[in-house]
Amino acid sequence: MWFIKSQEEVLKELNVDSKSGLSEEEVAKRLEQYGMNKLKSKPKKSLFAIFLSQLKDMLIYVLLGAAAITIAIGEYSDAIIILLVVALNALIGVVQEHKAEKAVEALQKMTTPKSLVRRDGEIIEINSEEVVPGDIIILDAGRYIPADIRLTVTANLQIEESALTGESVPSNKDAELVISDPKTSLGDKTNMAFMSTLVTYGRGEGVVVATAMDTEIGKIAKILDDDRNEMTPLQKRLDELGRILGYLAIGICALIFVIALIQKRDIMEMFLTAISLAVAAIPEGLAAIVAIVLALGVTRMSKINAIVKKLPAVETLGSVNIICSDKTGTLTQNKMTVTLHYTYGLLSDIGQSSTNLTGTYDENELIKTLVLCSDATYENDQGTGDPTEIALIVLGTKYNMTKDGLNKEFKRLSEFPFDSDRKLMSTLNEDGEGYRVNTKGAIDNLLEKCTRALLDGKVVPLTEDIKEDYLRVTENMSNSALRVLGAAYKETSEVIDPEDMEEDLIIIGLVGMIDPPRLEVKDSIREAKNAGIRPIMITGDHKNTALAIAKELEIADSLDQSITGAEIDNMTDEEFTKHINQYRVFARVSPEHKVIIVRAFKAQGNIVSMTGDGVNDAPSLKYADIGVAMGITGTDVAKGASDMILTDDNFTTIVHAIEEGRNIYNNIKKAVIFLLSCNLGEVITIFISILLNWPVPLLATHLLWINLITDSLPAISLGVDPGDHDVMKHKPRNPKESFFARGAGIRAIIGGMLIGLLTLLAFYYGLWEHDYPLGEIIANLDNPQYAGALTYARTMAFVVLAASQLFYSLSMRSTTKSIFQVGLFKNKYLIGAIITGLLLQLLVISVPFLAKAFQVRNLSLKDWVLVIMFALVPLLVNEIIKIFMRAAERNKHVQF
């Protein structure tokens, strides 16, 4: 903890003299001891490694097991189809993840290429990678800090640290200060300078105390390199489903063998039947369909300015119930803006977009002094220099007093620069025939230098009443988290020395400024709260400033809902986690605190989204369930660590993305329940036929065709079903909620039973129609006289199974609304999928070489009508059930 030690102690511990620096010999030793000053990262994953990681899924294991068995029994075509499905699923995942995990590379790019160091008594410029602990670094305006430094000399030194701490305003540095509190937050370590931050004003020197991975930036790189990736809610549900289906397939196979032994059937034949049943139980296309639906969701989200880097993140958005947002640049505009100015007796509120303003004489004098006493520049909506001064120049522009115009009219002759002791800055400008001193700074210090006041265009003595009035207004502004600056002037007939400028001044007034909230954020936060989502502000800024913004945005309404990083440090992890839900604002926090906060929220069962744009946000973006980076103002580091990037930096886009995520999950659920209903129908068909000692109504080829072709098209179409606009009127889904919750399991069972029983009925009818001796079905299996009848009956079963599933998909679009209420033709993809599925079915039966491969034959017109009627029954029954459900829902509302 270098910041709690004096300069002398630090220099002694690092064995260096600040006047001469390290010798080249000592540098070589330390370079060998500490290594190069650059961030390290673990080896990048190859494309093949990413491909293999996509296969770590229970459902994929089950499919690979099925493929292995089909190869073992010589069904190579079936095995190839299953393996193609697995490969397709993995490839979709690889494409999405290939460009991810760039965070550490971006951190490496941020480090500055050159540094000024003192070695062997001389100042030289070196590559920053060659800096070692103990090096004496020379700092001046515009130079990046190459490592973590304990400052030894500061002259009005200001360092912009917003990317690391989240503060909008550059931090004033003081080398002489020794901090006593070891728990001081990063933003308050004023005797330190940190790697990759920028010197904006003044000059200084310091001794390097940490390089590479030991720096604060290095600590962030370590966190980002941590490869702990938790499963998303969807991945957990699919993994659970894969296990259930895997165990079910094994259980069915075992049961079939038991039945085979009891019925004294041929063991090899029953083994093939068991494989058919296992194929029927597993929706082979599910993994690929979910991946395709997510990929299509990613494409849709890119159109609303949200780029999703990892497929499962789309669905996780739908479960989000907490949005943790960084304040600076995310909720606010990351530019200081003057919102109030005050001259004696007159307080004026300035709108953010106001232009061509006119002021009183006193107001014009106030603005003129503030602009002339500023070093920043502002042209074409771009400012350079201190953010506070840029705000003052923008204020002048609003009153048509531009920096260039005033500088030409009132030429600056000399200045008395700002320093942290006086907290004032003064300039001497030509003014007509004479000269004018313009001074700005902290109001307390300024009033001590003033003897007179400007009042309605007249200079009057500065009384205690006027002083108290200025101090009262200052206090009110400060309580509203505004940064207050006072302005004073005096006229002189001759050029005076800087030391004489700040005497006998005339107070004009003061201004209050703040980094204002983004204009659109308030409505977005209100919409999020209505959707059951809790917005949380996390910032490195001061508590009062953060709370003022939070109150304005309706994130928080009392001081009790805010906490600082130092207060978090004084609590145990258990205590903090227990009370985490009562806080809405976290101020003066470090990157480590942000991770602790995200983890505490997650420990309470929340699904957490973290938004941010700075380097300091990267670790928490990584640890959150959904990390959201800003695309325009966001650093490459934040983008690399995130799951989603907003291309318009608009908080509103997050809310739209959450709505999209909820609809995508609902669509995936529809597809999953639909597929499971279909597969259950297949299992019932085969299992009951075995129990009844019938021939198997469907061959393994039929089942694979239906599972991979006929089912898949409607399932994908359900996956892109137009979203329900009312989805944001409900609370977030419980991430532990099963796919089968809210009656979905019952619907799947009813649908599956209807499909299965009607397929059996069609098979039975096909045998009966061809005078197959129903009482002796098994005995006549090898009788060539009845081979045609069996093929015909199987064809009828095949068509009913496929067509009933296609029609049933229409009913899956809503759990309560009828197919007409949701709009029969609103999902054109689904209508197209049903028509395509029926045409493909007709093709398989009609084209001779296909019919031979599938062991089917063409049907008569009468039987086509019959199978279509059978196929419509599950759809009609489900629509009738919905009528009763809507009636029950209405009665429930009437009672309330």
Residue 226 · residue 43 · CB < 8 Å = no
d(CA 7, CA 822): 73
Helices 712-719 and 828-846 cross at an angle (nearest 10°) of 170
d(CA 171, CA 206): 16
Greater pLDDT, 459 or 84: 459
User: For a pLDDT cut of 70, what percent of the chain falls above it?
Assistant: 88
d(CA 343, CA 355): 20
679-720 tens-digit pLDDT:
888 888 888 888 887 878 888 778 878 877 778 889 888 888
DSSP 477-492: HHHTT-EEEEEEEEEE
Three-class SS state of 679: helix
The answer for residues whose C-beta is within 8 angstroms of residue 896's C-beta and 6 or more apart is none
374-427 tens-digit pLDDT:
988 888 777 777 888 999 999 999 999 999 999 999 999 999 988 767 889 999
Task: Identify the burial level of 419 via C-beta atoms within 10 angstroms of its C-beta, where 0-12 means exposed, 13-18 middle and 19 or more buried.
Answer: middle
Q: Is the pLDDT of residue 116 over 50?
A: yes
Three-class SS state of 188: helix
Q: Alpha carbon of 816 to those of 482, 820, 826: distances in Å? A: 53, 11, 17
656-677 tens-digit pLDDT:
888 888 888 888 888 888 888 8
Residue 664 · residue 293 · CB < 8 Å = yes
Q: Is the pLDDT of residue 242 over 80?
A: no
Angle CA(160)–CA(165)–CA(168) in degrees, nearest 5? 55
DSSP 295: H
Greater pLDDT, 528 or 66: 528
The confidence band for 106, taking pLDDT boundaries of 50, 70 and 90, is very low
Q: Is the pLDDT of residue 183 over 50?
A: yes
Residue in 514, 562, 569, 511 with CA at minimum distance from that of residue 539? 562
The confidence band for 111, taking pLDDT boundaries of 50, 70 and 90, is very low
Bridge partner list, 171: 159
Angle CA(481)–CA(487)–CA(492) in degrees, nearest 5? 170
415-445 tens-digit pLDDT:
998 876 788 999 999 998 899 999 999 999 9
Residue 504 · residue 491 · CB < 8 Å = no
d(CA 88, CA 137): 55
Residue 624 · residue 536 · CB < 8 Å = no
pLDDT at 784: 61
Task: Identify the burial level of 19 via C-beta atoms within 10 angstroms of its C-beta, where 0-12 means exposed, 13-18 middle and 19 or more buried.
Answer: exposed
Angle CA(12)–CA(18)–CA(22) in degrees, nearest 5? 85
Position 218: which residue type?
G
Element (H, E) at 96: helix 76-97
109-119: b (≥16 Cβ within 10 Å) or e = ebbbeebbbbb
Q: Alpha carbon of 596 to those of 270, 320, 321, 329, 601: distances in Å? A: 57, 18, 18, 22, 9
Contacts 24+ apart (CB under 8 A), 781-790: 781/695, 788/857, 790/695
pLDDT at 580: 93
Residues with a known catalytic role: 326
Residue in 625, 658, 609, 646 with CA at minimum distance from that of residue 326? 609
pLDDT at 168: 62
Contacts 24+ apart (CB under 8 A), 553-557: 553/331, 553/517, 553/521, 553/522, 553/525, 554/522, 554/525, 554/526, 554/529, 555/525, 555/584, 555/585, 556/584, 556/585
**Any idea which residue has 């029969």 for tokens?**
824
Helix (DSSP H) and strand (DSSP E) numbers for the chain? 33, 26
